[in-house]
Chain A
Amino acid sequence: EPEVTQTPSHQVTQMGQEVILRCVPISNHLYFYWYRQILGQKVEFLVSFYNNEISEKSEIFDDQFSVERPDGSNFTLKIRSTKLEDSAMYFCASSAEGVNTIYFGEGSWLTVV
């Protein structure tokens, strides 16, 4: 069964460093998302991406964050100048259509120290 894959599974970074989280969405999907889950809290929407541009973003997704689809298969989330409160599980997801079943990856644990 097709799946969303994410790398790395776990990353520890120093505060202030830049981090890039990578995702390979399901191949025929057109809509891509990043969500995050701080330990013990709800899953929160960060951003959606369609047709090579951001289609919607939350108030969490400020100038510190950026997304890119550098080629036909990868989708990345860049976090500039990481802060302690950025420590969370970051989930990539994709869907065939904008409001259809969303498929999530296994997540990337980010720990900022």
Chain B
Amino acid sequence: AQSVTQLGSHVSVSEGALVLLRCNYSSSVPPYLFWYVQYPNQGLQLLLKYTTGATLVKGINGFEAEFKKSETSFHLTKPSAHMSDAAEYFCAVSDPQANDMRFGAGTRLTVKP
């Protein structure tokens, strides 16, 4: 089965600073990879996904992630943090054939003024 490790349960950045949220995955087959965001008392919303093709994936709200097979990583970045980015972020991996999506433990992003 697939698994995901998110490095850092809490990340704090200043407004305007680079956001980097780390995700490493384990999968026995070429995976599908996802980043989701969760605002307080809400469900999860998709930020971006990688299935096949271009390894640099752009998502909503200025976020992007790069699939690096050699490093089994799918880190999420944003050049300049905004106060509205404060939320919890989840990385997920899915076997394209089995579709049993597995999530990491989440990273809570705090943005300081």
Chains A and B bind each other: no
Residues of B within 8 A of A (CB): none
Residues of A within 8 A of B (CB): none
